[in-house]
Amino acid sequence: MSPPWCVFNRKAPRWISWSDDNPGRRYYRCSRARTDGDCGFYVWYDPEHTTFMSLDLHNAVWELRSKALEIAELKQINDLLSSENKEKVLVLKAQEKDLEEKNKQLVLLANKFSSGSRCSLFCCGFVMLLIGLFFGLMLGVM
């Protein structure tokens, strides 16, 4: 079937109605529909649906609309969670950097103490030797 022509001799495109009364029903309408040049041409392509078909299509349309709303809500939640996760990742990276810096400081302190403890042990041992000699001499003199 070739498409009909409107009052102004323009080829009328075929559309699909998603209204509550005629869901999924195809029709022809002037190519300048909803503009100042609309001639008002309108003719149905499909016959009128049976009650059963109308209800079935109506339910399918509403189910699709509700799924679309659900998907939009889930996308918003996903975007929000993604944003929160990005913020948490940044905080964790900052904390990790801070911990690495503190670890470097602890390693330096540990190296200082470990190298300083040899000297301290030697000095303590030498002082103990001198004290022992001093007391030994003092006891020997008496």
Q: Give percent helix, percent strand, percent coil of the chain, each to the nearest 5.
A: 65, 10, 25
The Cα–Cα gap between 68 and 50 comes to 27
Using one digit for the tens of pLDDT, what is the confidence trace for 20-67?
Answer: 778 788 999 988 888 888 898 989 998 887 776 777 777 888 888 899
The Cα–Cα gap between 117 and 60 comes to 82
Q: Tell whether pTM > 0.75.
A: no
Specify whether the CB–CB gap between 12 and 4 falls below 8 A: yes
Q: What is the pLDDT of residue 40?
A: 87
Using one digit for the tens of pLDDT, what is the confidence trace for 78-90?
Answer: 999 999 999 999 9
